[in-house]
Amino acid sequence: MTAVFAVWLAVSHALPAEKTATKYARFEADGMVAYGIVEADKVRVIDGDLFGTWKPTEKTLPLSEVKLLVPCEPTKVLACAGNYKSHLGDAPPHPHPEMFFKVPSCLIACGDEIVIPKGTDVVHYEGELVIVIGKRARNVPEDRALDYVLGVTCGNDVSARDWQKNDVQWWRAKGSDTFGPCGPWIVSGIDYDDLLLQLRLNGQVRQEQRTSDLEHGVAAVVSWVSRHVTLEPGDLIFTGTPGKTDAIKPGDVVEVELEGVGVLRNTVRAAE
């Protein structure tokens, strides 16, 4: 099985999207990097800027023949800490979203490998819904925040727990290379605040919860962040993980599925 076909196989088994949903993919084919609209088993190339003015073209490519890339190229990546009650346990909910930064260089696409770096012994998965910003957002009120969201995608906030616990900052615990799987594509036109999120490790369900259980929903998170940090088109916000997490090891296969979006699938290996 080729790597490209394996990626296609993973994403083609997604839960069905609502009729109004649109899927936007960023991909590479024959040396060309482009955005396109996913239509069943094909992707239709668009002409222009996905985050500006664009139009669909007549050119389509089979999904099985393209390499899916990280769905966009963010200037910054933020993430929520403790945004599900099931993850907080007995701790009280945060009065506002608690944010931290990941780095764009940690992002990898569906089908890429999560690499466990040398020096850490405990690396965990964290399945999450990821917000994709559609236009510049600064001091946005919550009741208008969704106007600034292009869509959502699947994410895995891979975390080295020993570094997270023992370092002063989380820069390597959360931002090491390959610690930000994201994809397979961006989906708009669905109810971001009521989607089933599921993470599977080697085919076994390890996390499962609806995004309606987020302590701070999509609009609240975008509004809060925009009061302090100007969000640019393509910026990403990981919204937090539910329940308990566990360690991953070389050879594992991690899948994050988001209802109406797709399946983010990555294998794990150790650093050489």
Spell out the domains of the chain, with CATH numbers in brackets: 72-270 (3.90.850.10)
Element (H, E) at 172: helix 171-175
Sheet containing strand 196-201, edge to edge, reads 113-116, 262-270, 253-258, 196-201, 204-210
Give the whole-angstrom CA distance, residue 149 versus residue 130: 11
Q: Read off the pLDDT of residues 68-117 as tens digits, 9 standing for 90 and up.
A: 999 999 999 999 999 998 877 777 778 899 999 999 999 999 999 999 99
Unique residue bearing structure tokens 């957002």: 137
d(CA 160, CA 3): 27
Among the ranges given (19-28, 48-57, 130-139, 232-241), the one the predictor scored with the smallest mean pLDDT: 19-28
pLDDT tens digits for 21-79?
A: 999 999 999 999 999 999 999 999 999 999 999 999 999 999 999 999 999 999 999 99
- What six digits make up the tokens of 219? 């609009």
- How crowded is residue 227: how many other Cβ atoms within 10 Å of its Cβ? 12
Q: In angstroms, how far is CA 230 from the centroid of its own chain?
A: 20
Q: Are 213 and 207 contacting, i.e. CB atoms less than 8 angstroms apart?
A: no
Q: How many other C-beta atoms are found inside a 10 Å radius of the C-beta of residue 63?
A: 24
Single pTM value for the model: 0.92
